[in-house]
Amino acid sequence: MDGHAVHPEETRITVVLNKPRGVMCTASDPQGRPTVMHYVKDLPARVYNVGRLDYDSEGLLVMTNDGELAYRLTHPKFKFDKTYSAICNGALSAEEKSRLEQGVMLEDGITFPARVEELHHLQNGNTAFNITIHEGRNRQVRRMLAAVGHETLMLRRVALGPLRLGSLASGSHRPLTEEEIAALSHISANPFDSDITN
């Protein structure tokens, strides 16, 4: 119109991907390792990962071309809970669990208190549990467990704020549910809520 080209607005696409272990959260990898882009190449528009899961971790990863949504999901002021299903080597003691829940000192400062739930000591001597953190530091859960003397054997993100991994198969993606869209819309309308966890 008026001599100016009109470009159609790109359709906003957001999916939840169950990132497999051994996959990079990058568009490409110079070493030729698989990346998350392989798992969303069927989508009608290019999307990008919101935040990261390290190479050895798996689970819930948001992929979107919606810059505003990506901002809301990553900016510290929104304080999204991040819940992981984890297995560590050895028996996680009550004292070590308490340290995680009170906050542990890492090289980049003390962590916010975590929630450790559904703790089970496995027959092989290792420990399975869920841990919820409120920050997004690099490899944070692994470093927290190392700080209390344990190696992380498995780490799967199962929830991010109102988003849930559920029974989504590894390597598969799904669109957001109506409930998730409504929850994220609420966050958009209330950007200065003090804490958003569900």
Active site amino acids:
54
Query: Tokens for 188?
Result: 């958009």
- Residue identified by tokens 């901002």 is 71
Cβ 35 vs Cβ 22: under 8 Å: no
Alpha helix (H) residue ranges in the chain: 67-74, 94-102, 140-147, 178-189
32 phi-psi bin (left φ>0, alpha ψ -120 to 50, beta other): left
Cβ burial 113-128 (10 Å sphere, 16+ → b, else e):
ebebeeeeeeeeebbb
Cβ burial 35-55 (10 Å sphere, 16+ → b, else e):
bbbebbeeeeeebbbbebbeb
The CB density around residue 23, as the number of other CB atoms within 10 Å, is 24
